[in-house]
Amino acid sequence: MFQKILIANRGEIACRVAATARRLGIQTVAVYSDADANAKHVLACDEAVHIGASAPQDSYLRWECILQAAQDTGAQAVHPGYGFLSENEDFAKACAAAGLVFIGPSPSAIQAMGLKAESKQLMEKAGVPLVPGYHGADQDPALLQREADRIGYPVLIKASAGGGGKGMRAVEKAADFAEALASCKREATHSFGSDAVLIEKYVQRPRHIEIQVFGDTHGHCVYLFERDCSVQRRHQKVLEEAPAPGMTEALRAQMGAAAVAAAQAVNYVGAGTVEFIVEQASYDQPEAMKFFFMEMNTRLQVEHPVTEAITGLDLVEWQLRVASGEPLPLRQDQLRIQGHAIEARICAENPDNNFLPATGTLQVYRKPACTSFAVAAGAVRVDDGVREGDTISPYYDSMVAKLIVHGDTRAQALARLDAALAQTHIVGLATNVQFLRQVVRSPSFANAQLDTALIPREAAVLFHQEPVGAVRALAAVVAHTLHAERGLAGTDPFSQRDGWQAYGVRSRAFTCALGEQTHHAQLSYLHDGGLHLRVSPASASPATNAPSDADVSGLLQFSAQGEAGQAAEAGLWVSFHGQRTHSVLHWQGDVAHVFAPEGATSITWSDPLAHAGEVEVKGGRLTAPMPGKVVSFAVKVGDVVKAGQTLAVMEAMKMEHTIAAPQDGTVQELLYAAGDQVAEGAELLKLD
């Protein structure tokens, strides 16, 4: 076994590898960029070496610096994690040339499986089922158009060297093919250095099911069952689970055998994943499912923890043992499935705004009670590479953490995941935590009616949801405010903040904004010491006016004690209008972030006079929705455009984002050029 390894990656996967290495008594070396100088993964390792500036091409993709760091620190092997250099055959060769063990497959296996077109030809020879398509070397756009027409729409254009949803476009009709091809090639060139694409039939009602395989240098190869990764947005995974719901033993054996055949075709060594597209006639006929080879990822996958949870194995430990020359720890007949596991990817993004990536500081980052990197059954596990106070920057991908749960059954795992998500509190930037809870609760996911179109199919219950509700959220904020005021009161009667006065009833008015609506409330301090709250709907008059039939009113009570008189972990129990619930508040300036069992929301306490005289400006300006680079402009000065027409393309966090015209108009001025870096909110062009 190795004595010291270098981890050529960052974030949660670097922390993950370091945890297993520490358990095995292996020393670790971290590498870091300027942006990651104080990152969690740096402190997780025994040593750390600075390798360059913040951008990946100036640090984590500079393998000469990484190899030098390994040699300078006496590392014997390099673990590439996933992403960055993990599937780079030249880097694997360079490791060998430098006398270092690359903890992964051979360069020839990476090369064989790295190009989608060539790998499909190889799989065809190995007898692995393929989706109808074009995988040829001729990349003439006219030929590609004819091939798409021949295959029949819808088709999928995929970067031959791609992965992670980048360089991929679904095309519904022939008229849209040319524009989609150009965008796909441009993104492929930027991400992978090659614009070669392949075209495949777009399978209807498809499920994305992948098989974890492992090979060693002694000729052994096994599969560690399957993962269902069908829930996706922008062709990137959102939720992954193992085993796949509805999977029959016969189909599992067929897919496992096909995956092993695929791995053996390239003499595969180490951890790999063979991904299949599965076509299903209906959701309740698993025996009729057909599977087709899609690609092989020659590395450890982001979703490997669910496989660890159902097998009780540490896949990173297997990687280290195989790379050091040991045989696989178990035979195929010794592997068993135990229970059900689900992983949720927590990302810094705004699902209600087309999953736009977000940047910012984790001002609040609270996790459920968990055991990091645990593989035991029944565990709640959080894999992350950040801490409270860290910044999510535009230089790397938007994933904050992975939340993994295990249960005896899928239903138990679902309940455990929802509860763990409810205990995940993040303030400081937009995240998809509440969206994940909506997905988990959606009819399709709860009933295992899975396919890659689940998110658009369930859009009505997934997006623009307000799970807490204005009345309960406002009552919670009022209660927390009063509780904080009482905590500031002195011991003498004159400093008490209980609203007592010698005559009459004292009242306080509150105004707040929830989303686009303004709500009003009036709190009355009763003579018996009680509190009465009246909440007026957004369309009603302010609370200081006469009550209306639409108002919600009643006694407001709150306590920091639980049902049995035990102190709550945090927050208050609030009773109002016939409901009693527990809530936790985190303040960010004038914004109160309310976390309750049913969900989370944000309320802005506003002064109506502060906005007097403001005039809303519509149209005319188009600004960058996030920090990034201008890829191209689709218009020039003087062009007449229609609402919704593409005006520009930006790239940030490894994804392209289209800027569309908010209304009809004429392009007055382009304020940047293609290739320029822009800040969030920067005006890109002007419309007349």
Look up 10 and say whether it is catalytic: no
pLDDT tens by residue, 274-295: 999 998 877 877 777 889 998 9
Task: Give the predicted TM-score (pTM) of the model.
Answer: 0.81
- Side-chain-side CA neighbours of 343 within 13 Å: the count stands at 33
Other beta carbons within 10 angstroms of residue 559's beta carbon come to: 14
Other beta carbons within 10 angstroms of residue 389's beta carbon come to: 12
pLDDT-based confidence at 548, cuts 50/70/90?
Answer: low
Please check whether residue 36 is in contact with residue 42, taking contact to mean a CB–CB distance below 8 angstroms: yes
User: Hey, is 233 helix, strand or coil?
Assistant: strand
**Angstrom distance (rounded) from CA 186 to CA 171:** 16
Output the average pLDDT for the chain: 88
Phi, psi of 642 (to 5 degrees): -110, 155
pLDDT tens by residue, 158-211: 998 876 678 899 999 999 999 999 999 999 888 888 999 999 888 878 999 999
Domains contained in the chain, CATH given? 4-103 (3.40.50.20), 132-201 (3.30.1490.20), 206-462 (3.30.470.20), 470-610 (3.30.700.40), 621-687 (2.40.50.100)
Provide the b/e sequence for 42-67 (b: ≥16 CB within 10 Å). Answer: bebbebbbbbbebebeebbbbbebbb
Q: Can you give the pLDDT at residue 619?
A: 46
pLDDT-based confidence at 547, cuts 50/70/90?
Answer: low
Q: Can you give the pLDDT at residue 470?
A: 86
Angle (CA) 282 283 286, round 5°: 90
**Angstrom distance (rounded) from CA 256 to CA 337:** 14
Task: Give burial (CB, 10 Å; 0-12/13-18/19+) of 207.
Answer: buried
Provide the b/e sequence for 164-198 (b: ≥16 CB within 10 Å). Answer: bbbbbbebeeeeebeebbebbbbbbebbbebbbbb
Residue of 566 and 629 predicted with greater confidence: 629
* Averaged pLDDT for residues 45-51: 98
Please check whether residue 343 is in contact with residue 240, taking contact to mean a CB–CB distance below 8 angstroms: yes
576: β partners: 556, 579
* Averaged pLDDT for residues 654-658: 71
- Which of 299, 321, 345, 381 does the annotation list as catalytic? 299
Please check whether residue 124 is in contact with residue 133, taking contact to mean a CB–CB distance below 8 angstroms: no
Residue 28 reports pLDDT greater than 90: yes
Long-range Cβ pairs for the range 456-459 (8 Å, 24+)? none
Amino acid at 147: E
CA distances in angstroms from 223 to 212, 332, 459, 515, 536, listed in the order given: 6, 7, 35, 49, 60
pLDDT tens by residue, 427-457: 999 999 999 999 999 999 999 999 999 999 9
Q: Can you give the pLDDT at residue 549?
A: 64
pLDDT tens by residue, 81-140: 999 999 999 999 999 999 999 999 999 999 999 877 788 888 988 889 988 889 888 999
